[in-house]
Chain A
Amino acid sequence: KAGVTQTPRYLIKTRGQQVTLSCSPISGHRSVSWYQQTPGQGLQFLFEYFSETQRNKGNFPGRFSGRQFSNSRSEMNVSTLELGDSALYLCASSPGTTSEETQYFGPGTRLLVL
């Protein structure tokens, strides 16, 4: 099976712009979770989508949003970018049947906000 893919891999934006990141999960997986990783805060949970519905949400401002399509692919959007949004954004997929199942991570999208 192909692994989790994320596009783009690298992105440079300026403050105030918005950005959309994409994640394609492993075939058959219905849950997609998004994480932000920074040197200062480490790996933080953004949200999880399952069957096109947001199932869990972390403690991030409303500028961070996402959606999931019927084929389980997911997008994450960040509006009005701030310098502090510079980070590695990781998505992870899992079957979605239990909360203790293994998550498989993509390579990440590195976002730099100038």
Chain B
Amino acid sequence: SQELEQSPQSLIVQEGKNLTINCTSSKTLYGLYWYKQKYGEGLIFLMMLQKGGEEKSHEKITAKLDEKKQQSSLHITASQPSHAGIYLCGAVMKTSYDKVIFGPGTSLSVIP
């Protein structure tokens, strides 16, 4: 199983609707990142969370990291077609070395 799980796997929403994407880890997170990817392209950095309970916002996107630092949520308010893409969460896992892993991604489609 994946060390980072994302839900839902895919999402189709009407323009203007709110939505939430979750990222859950089986281990303690040391830094949680959210990226957006258009199909076949590179990742665009959205935001990084480090402290339990931390919340950050950028335009209509808000991300939170829960206090136990094992789950994060990404919330989009009043979605627009420009929000469509694949949202990936990424994290640094502390093992014998710093291991960088990513979730499987959540595909978001926004219908005008």
Q: Answer yes or no: do A and B interact.
A: yes
Q: Which residues of A contact B (CB under 8 A)?
A: 4, 33, 35, 42-45, 48, 55-58, 88, 90, 92, 99-100, 102-108, 110
Whether the pair B48, A108 counts as a contact (CB closer than 8 A) is: no
The residue on A at minimum CB distance from B101 is A45
Report Cα–Cα, A105/B41, bound state, in Å: 10
Contact partners of A110 in chain B: CB under 8 A:
40
Contact partners of B98 in chain A: CB under 8 A:
56, 99
Main secondary structure, interface of A, reads strand
Q: Which residues of B contact A (CB under 8 A)?
A: 2, 30-31, 33, 35, 40-45, 48, 50, 88, 90, 92, 97-105
Whether the pair A102, B33 counts as a contact (CB closer than 8 A) is: yes
Whether the pair A100, B41 counts as a contact (CB closer than 8 A) is: no
B99 in complex: contacting residue of A56, A88, A100, A103, CB < 8 Å = A56
A74 CB to closest chain B CB (Å) equals: 15
B72 CB to closest chain A CB (Å) equals: 14
